[in-house]
Amino acid sequence: MAWQIIVRLSLDADGNSAVRNKVAPFFTNMGLHQRSRRTGTWESYEIEDMQKACSGLRKVTRVLENPGVRLDHLWVYIAKAHKRNCLPINLSAFLATKWRSPKS
């Protein structure tokens, strides 16, 4: 079974990116790729090895628990992977061409 994993990480006072550079290899080894440097978002829609992913997340949290690290937020989303754009064709067509916002 494949899993979708999205991680968003924000650090305060990491001017030289020391902490970010330390956790980046853990995300890469988990099979995640960086979606945005600005928001610190890493994701994948096809993670097969959940044990490897959980091990990587444990390594990340160990780095973040160090006293000198100033974490703003860490968001982790894990769910069964679904194919992208998997809406039924008729619903997709409806949303794309016929939906109109309600009139006031």
pTM above 0.85, yes or no: no
- In terms of Cα–Cα distance, which of 77, 45, 74, 78 is closest to 61? 74
Max distance between CA atoms of the chain, in angstroms, equals 54
Query: What is the DSSP-derived secondary structure letter of residue 66?
Result: S
Rounded mean pLDDT, 80-91: 56
CB burial of residue 18 (10 Å; 0-12, 13-18, 19+): exposed
Show the CA angle centred on residue 68, arms to residues 66 and 76, nearest 5°: 55
> Is pLDDT above 70 for 86?
no
What was the pLDDT predicted at 101?
46
Domains of the chain and CATH, by start:
3-98 (3.30.70.240)
Residue-wise pLDDT tens digits, 39-74: 889 999 889 999 999 999 999 999 999 999 999 999
